[in-house]
Structure formats: C-alpha cells, structure tokens
A and B are shown apart, each in its own frame.
Chain A
Amino acid sequence: MSQERKEELASLYVAGAMTSAEAQAFEREMLQDAELRALVTSLQAAMTVLAAGVPLKQPPAGLKSEIMAKIAECEKVVPVSFTAVDERPRSRWLLWALAACFAVLVVYQQNMGFQTQTADMEAQLAEARSEQQRFQSLTGILSAKLADQEKLLRSMSATNQLLAMELTQIKESDRLANLRIALLNSLLADSPKAVAVSVWDNQKQTGVFHVENLKPLPAGKDYQLWVIDPQYKTPVDAGVFQVDEKGNVRFEFKPRQTIAAANTFAVTEEPKGGRPTPTLDRMVLAGNAKEL
C-alpha cells in the first residue's frame, strides 16, 4: 500500500467517514501494519484537538453519581454465608448418624444410577450394532445399484455415438438435398461424343461443370454456360470457358443472377468473352437437371 493510500485510509477512519465494513477491514489491516497504527494514532490525536473546539457544555452534576451507581450495580456480589453448625454435644451423635444414613443413601442411589446407566449403555450398544448391520446391508444395495447405473451410462454413451453418426448423415443428406445434377448431351453432329455434367448447389449458388470430348474452338470464340431458371425470361449467364486439346475441362461456376430453380443447363458457342443472351442456334450441349 502506498503512503498516500495509507494516509487516505487512516484519515477516513479517524474522521469516521468509513462504512462499518470498511472500518472493520481497515482494523484488520492495522493489526498487521505497525506503521499504519502509528499513523492512525497521530491523526487521532489531531482529531481530538479539533473536536475540543466545540462549545463547552458541562454535564449535569448528578450524572456522575448515576454512572457510579450503575458501575456499582454491575459488580454487586452477594456473599454466601453458612450458618454455624450446632455445637451441642447431645446432638452430635445424631448428626453423625444422619450423615452416615445420608452417605449410605447416596451410595445406594449412585449404585442404582450406575446400574441404570450400564443398562442404558448396553441397550445403546445393541442398537448401534443393529444400525451398523443395516448400514452394511444398505451399502451393499447401493453398490449394486451403482454398478447398474454405470452399465446404463456406458450403454447410453454408445447410443449417443450412434445418434451422433446418424445426425451427421442427416445433415449430409440435407446438403445433398440442395444439389441438382444435369447430364448435358451433345447437340453437334460433328462432336457426338461431347458430354458434360453439371452439379449445382442451390444453397451455395455455385456449381461444378465437367466437360469431355468437346471440340476446341478457334481463337476469337468461347463456349458459354447457361442456367435456365423459370423465374427469368432469358437464360442466366454462368460464365465462358475453353476446353483443352482433348476437349476436356472442369471448372466451378457462379451464375450472374440468383437461381431459385436450376431446371436446365446449356452450352452455346459465342464470340470471345461471351454474350448477355445465348445464340440459340449455336447450342452445343444441353440437359435437364435432376435432384439427387
């Protein structure tokens, strides 16, 4: 604690500006810090001097005696006195006889008391043994139940795993439900073997297009992929592509517009860079999409 902080806390404490909880915490702190205690002491002395600046007011004269009386009351002790024993010889033997009888009576009562106590303790011991047996039996039952519960827990864990697998499969099938696949057949007499497959993910609005055996185009021309969605009057442009020397290509595509239902895919031959609408008489591949 910094010196400034100590001074602050000590000042607040001495001035009486702390809450009860704060004061108690500070007093605990003081117990362990002699410097803090000395600081408080010095500030208290200053506080006393400030307090002495109040107007003088004498207490009533009778108050002191009231206070003294109260103090005396607190400490009043009533002495216990014993009356003197009758010293007359004639009654001494009687006293001894009475004392003897009393002693016998006390011993007898104590004996009876001990016997009763012993019987009680034996009964308690028997009860404790019986209780112990009951506990042992209960322990056995609980142990068996615990074993059953553990077995059940293991079984439930296995079931949990199966459920998790099924859930994963369901999620996968949900995903698959969003996919549509189209097989595009050649419409060209001079490329009868040309074929394409389009896998469209309606949720992600992307697809994969795979073409084989489509004749390469000369420079200045591109193939263009189209998606036919009934909501639109014209096919939706899905991008241009070129095939390699074998007539193959595989690419991912994203149509320029949002597709609600990809019913049909088609490929046309277009000038380099493509066109906003297809040249229908130059359609080379086409196919309807189906759900998986």
Chain B
Amino acid sequence: MNCSLGTCESLVDWVCRRVNQTGTVSESVNESLDQEVDVELLQRMARGDKEAFAAFYDRYAALLFSIIFRILNDQKESEDVLQEASLLIWEKATVYTPSIGKPSSWAVTIARNKAIDRIRFLQRQNRLVEKAATEGEGNEPVRSVRDSVYGREKAELIRVAITDLPTDQRQAIEMAFFKGLTQYEISETLREPLGTVKARIRRGMLKLRASLEGLL
C-alpha cells in the first residue's frame, strides 16, 4: 500500500500502518475510530495511564487543533488552547462515561469550549485578529480533517451531507459553534427573529444527523 497522501501526518501514518495490516482503507478507518478503543483509552487515562493519553492525543490532536485554529485563527493561541484542552481531557477522563457521548464528540466539545472561552478573553483584551478563516462553497481546501479522520470514501459522503445543508441552517450552526455566538447574538447579527434562528439550528442539526445516520 503506497501512502502517498501528502505529508503523512501521524494519524495518516497510523492509518497506513493499519491498512498494511488489514488491507482496506475503510476498515482501517472504521477501526481507527472505533468507539470502544477510545473508551478504553479514556478508562486507562482515568487510572493514570500516560501512554493511553499519548495514544488518544495522537488520534485526535489534528482534529482538535484544526477546530481550535478554525475558531481562533492564530497559531500561538491555538497551541495554548490545545494544551489546555488536552490537560482538561486528561483530568476529566475520570468522569467520562459512554453515556455522555462518544469520546470524539466529548473531546471536540472540550476543545471547542476552550477555544470559545479564549476568543471571548481575547475579545475583551482587544487582541483578537478578526480574520475568520472561512470555508466557502465550492472553495474546499485540498485537505480537511474530515479526509484524514474518516478516510476518502466516507469523507465524500460527509461532504455531500454538509453541502446539502441549506446555507442559512449551516450558517446559523457555524456561527454558534465556531464563533461562540448565542442564539440571541445570532438573531441580532443576522437581524432575524429569534424563532427563525432556533428553527434553523434545529432543522440543520436534525438534517445533518439524518444525512449521516449510517456513518455515525
């Protein structure tokens, strides 16, 4: 198997190794995102297993850093926040249970919330550079986290699901998730009634879930 996917980041390297062992990309990706594996890692982390943390970090650092950077658009700040989020994940592994969600979702939520806290702090400090990295329609980057995390096959399905999301729904969700705006702030920014904003977020989330049902 020729792993000529670019720079062969650690996660991709890991995927390549799995591919060489199992023979298929999709199976390897499935396994790499195996929730049970992640749960086990977190349980080991809860017992103080630093090697488990290292493995968890290797699996999710790119995803978390990418999301943090998308929010902050600043390398140094993003590094600081990833560090804070990672330490918090280590600390909170003791309270994680599968009932509160998938490990990936749990980690993403922690990282996102840390990033939003930082953005608010920086806004208060007037040091934030207001250059939000946007991902426009028809202007997809060469490589996204999606591609590396889910593999090409599933990534394409996910891309279609997100593209099919109506623009207003996606916009409202992204304003909340990546900019940390509350429903009231979104309503004010878009000059739309609050009920409209709530409905867009609700419909968008449900549509996304329905589109990705087979993949989640």
- Among B209, B212, B216, the most chain A Cβ lie within 10 Å of the Cβ of B209
A: number of interface residues (CB 8 Å): 43
Determine if A45 is an interface residue (Cβ-Cβ < 8 Å): yes
Q: How far is the CA of A37 from the CA of B102 in the complex (A)?
A: 12
A67 touches B57 (CB 8 A): yes
B183 touches A43 (CB 8 A): no
Against A, the Cβ 8 Å flags (1 = close, 0 = not) of B172-216 are 110011001111101000000000011101101110110010011
Residues of the A chain whose Cβ atoms lie less than 8 Å from the Cβ of B133: 55
Q: Which residue of A lies closest to B204 (CB)?
A: A11
Contact of B180 among A16, A66, A71 (CB under 8 A): A16
How many A-B contacts at CB < 8 Å in the complex? 185
B50 touches A71 (CB 8 A): yes
Q: How far is the CA of A60 from the CA of B62 in the complex (A)?
A: 10
A12 touches B158 (CB 8 A): no
A41/B9 contact (C-beta < 8 A), A16-B180, A57-B69 known: no
A42 touches B176 (CB 8 A): no
A52 touches B63 (CB 8 A): yes
Determine if B32 is an interface residue (Cβ-Cβ < 8 Å): no
Determine if A249 is an interface residue (Cβ-Cβ < 8 Å): no
Q: How far is the CA of A60 from the CA of B10 in the complex (A)?
A: 11
Q: How far is the CA of A68 from the CA of B176 in the complex (A)?
A: 32
CB distance from A50 to the nearest CB of B (A): 6
Against B, the Cβ 8 Å flags (1 = close, 0 = not) of A70-111 are 111001000000000000000000000000000000000000
- Among A11, A51, A55, the most chain B Cβ lie within 10 Å of the Cβ of A51
Place the interface of chain B in its size category. 35 or more
Determine if B123 is an interface residue (Cβ-Cβ < 8 Å): no
Q: How far is the CA of A55 from the CA of B65 in the complex (A)?
A: 10
Find residues 105-144 in chain B having any chain A CB closer than 8 Å to their own CB: 105-106, 108-109, 112-113, 116, 133, 135, 141, 143-144
CB distance from B179 to the nearest CB of A (A): 9
A50/B173 contact (C-beta < 8 A), A16-B116, A44-B101 known: yes
Determine if B61 is an interface residue (Cβ-Cβ < 8 Å): yes
B108 touches A47 (CB 8 A): yes
Q: How far is the CA of A232 from the CA of B21 in the complex (A)?
A: 122
CB distance from A44 to the nearest CB of B (A): 4
Q: Which residue of B lies closest to A34 (CB)?
A: B99
Q: How far is the CA of A11 from the CA of B145 in the complex (A)?
A: 23
Determine if B148 is an interface residue (Cβ-Cβ < 8 Å): yes
A53 touches B135 (CB 8 A): yes
Determine if A8 is an interface residue (Cβ-Cβ < 8 Å): yes
Residues of the A chain whose Cβ atoms lie less than 8 Å from the Cβ of B183: 12, 17-18
Against B, the Cβ 8 Å flags (1 = close, 0 = not) of A1-28 are 0001001101110111111000000000
Determine if A189 is an interface residue (Cβ-Cβ < 8 Å): no
A41 touches B112 (CB 8 A): no
A41/B101 contact (C-beta < 8 A), A17-B183, A63-B79 known: yes
Determine if B42 is an interface residue (Cβ-Cβ < 8 Å): no
Q: A residues engaging B (CB < 8 A)?
A: 4, 7-8, 10-12, 14-19, 37, 40-60, 63-64, 66-68, 70-72, 75
